Amino acid sequence: MKRLILTSTVAGLMLGSSLAAAAKVELIVDYPYPQMFNSVHEELAKKFNEKFPDYTVKFRAPTPEYETAAQQALRHAVTNQLADVSFQGLNRQRVFVDRGIAVDLTPFIEAEEGWAERGYSESLMSLGQVNDVQSGIGFSLSTPIVYYNADLIRAAGGDIDALPTTWDDIIALADQSREANRGTYGLHYDWEITGNWLWQSMVFSKGGSMLDEAETKVAFNNAIGRESIEQMGRMVANDTMQNYSFNEALQLFVSGKMAVFSSSTSRLTSIEEQIGDRFEMVTGFFPLYGDEGRVPAGGNVAMMFAQDPERQKAAWEYIKFVTGPEGAVVMTKNTGYFPANMLPIEDPNGLKGFYDENPNQYTAVQQLPWLTGWYAFPGENGLKITDVINDNLQTVFDKSEQPLVALDKMSEEVQKLLTR
């Protein structure tokens, strides 16, 4: 009798252990930019596991930037190795929707009670929508901004409380600083940033667009596009901007030898840490022209690739957690990005105190009214188009080609890729 009871007990324990193991779902997650996000994702995964002990998170080796992240995911789709949750650049969602890889999050959202009160504004949710598919939810968002060395600007007689609002005035201020502060440099425009982001920023800030409404013809070769590329030409015409790589220019800026540096707000925390107490740095708005001027949202969204219902359930919980208020606070305080969830921004226990103490971080949030989407070119050649634009912009900044000639070549090459 004792043996029967013992056998039954062991069997029961084994069954319980088996059920516990079955309940445990290990989510596979991938993301880009390890230098910015490693610590963020590790902290979020730990907090998530504490809240949901039946779920664990396993990270794949992160990719260096958005193009690589997209290419890797497309390869994994072919080999059935897709992650359950993937963090992809805002401008790379389209390829996953077009190929039926992205899971539409709309049914998951509609099944949630009180979703409207959870801090996800319609305008920010729209950044994760492609062709009527809610392909992602914003995790970390950014806007282009302008960084200023306040010490150099003041030494040159500039007013740091009345920063310039046009690029020509920014160039003039950078030249003024070069003249007053011998041995220093003027400015750097981070045109090489992933996805032609600062090319789009320049065009969108003037009310322009990449393609026509039908998405069959290049639209950046009009008057706005010409002014945009000529503006870039004026940055380098008198050596206000040198043909430096991003890393070279960044080192000049953080060491106190450059007056103006324009890039993404996502770099803010890292830049502040590198500057330390060398000089005072302030951030300013990206110049806008006219009522139609906009700035493209940068950053990445959490996308669901999982197909199994149980894994989808776990993936949805993870996406809600990392994009919700708790995830938003962790992400924002450890990067220069701002969240796609608005609840913590005005919450004294969330981010309100943080922004009060870090006004440079608040610059991007103030640009929210002018936010627009980061454009993704359609079709199989979307990634190739990005490379074509990048290659032609290079000729402007190294002065091997006149700006309008470069624009003509860029337009012609992009048009050919559109019509294939």
The answer to the question of residue 318 being in a domain is yes
SS3 56: strand
Q: Same structural domain for residues 79 and 153?
A: no
Q: Which of the four pLDDT bands, split at 50, 70 and 90, describes residue 314?
A: very high
**What is the total count of domains within the chain?**
2
DSSP state, residue 112: S
The answer to the question of residue 20 being in a domain is no
pLDDT at 315 > cutoff 90: yes
CATH assignment at residue 310: 3.40.190.10
Tell me the pLDDT tens digit for each residue of 153-209.
999 999 999 999 999 999 999 999 999 999 999 999 999 999 999 999 999 999 999
The answer to the question of residue 255 being in a domain is yes
Q: Same structural domain for residues 157 and 287?
A: yes
The answer to the question of residue 2 being in a domain is no
Q: Same structural domain for residues 162 and 290?
A: yes
pLDDT average, residue stretch 79-86: 98
Tell me the pLDDT tens digit for each residue of 178-187.
999 999 999 9
Structure confidence at residue 420 (pLDDT): 67
Burial of 186 (0-12, 13-18, 19+ CB in 10 A): buried
Structure confidence at residue 24 (pLDDT): 85
Tell me the pLDDT tens digit for each residue of 370-409.
999 999 999 889 989 999 999 999 999 999 999 999 999 9
pTM of the model: 0.89
- In degrees and rounded to multiples of 5, residue 113 shows phi and psi of -85, 135
- Assigned token pair, 378: 């359609």
Q: Same structural domain for residues 103 and 120?
A: yes
User: How much is the mean pLDDT over the chain?
Assistant: 93
Which domain, by its residues, includes 261? 144-296+377-417
The answer to the question of residue 3 being in a domain is no
Tell me the pLDDT tens digit for each residue of 28-78.
999 999 999 999 999 999 999 999 999 999 999 999 999 999 999 999 999
- In degrees and rounded to multiples of 5, residue 213 shows phi and psi of -60, -35
Q: Same structural domain for residues 155 and 263?
A: yes
Q: Same structural domain for residues 52 and 132?
A: yes
From 319, 271, 331, 265, select the one nearest 295 (Cα to Cα).
265
Query: How far from 24 is each of 17, 53, 206, 314, CA to CA, in Å?
Result: 11, 8, 52, 10
Query: What distance in Å separates the CA atoms of residue 45 and residue 137, rounded to the nearest whole number?
Result: 17
The answer to the question of residue 179 being in a domain is yes
pLDDT average, residue stretch 242-251: 96
Q: Same structural domain for residues 205 and 280?
A: yes
- Assigned token pair, 332: 């924002």
The answer to the question of residue 324 being in a domain is yes
List of E strands, 313-420: 371-372
Q: Same structural domain for residues 124 and 174?
A: no
User: Is the pLDDT higher at 415 or at 21?
Assistant: 415
Query: What distance in Å separates the CA atoms of residue 12 and residue 342, rounded to the nearest whole number?
Result: 48
Which residue type sits at 224? I
Q: Same structural domain for residues 97 and 40?
A: yes
Helix (H) or strand (E) holding 223, with range, is helix 223-237
Q: Same structural domain for residues 133 and 148?
A: no
The answer to the question of residue 32 being in a domain is yes
Q: Same structural domain for residues 226 and 119?
A: no
Q: Same structural domain for residues 285 and 316?
A: no
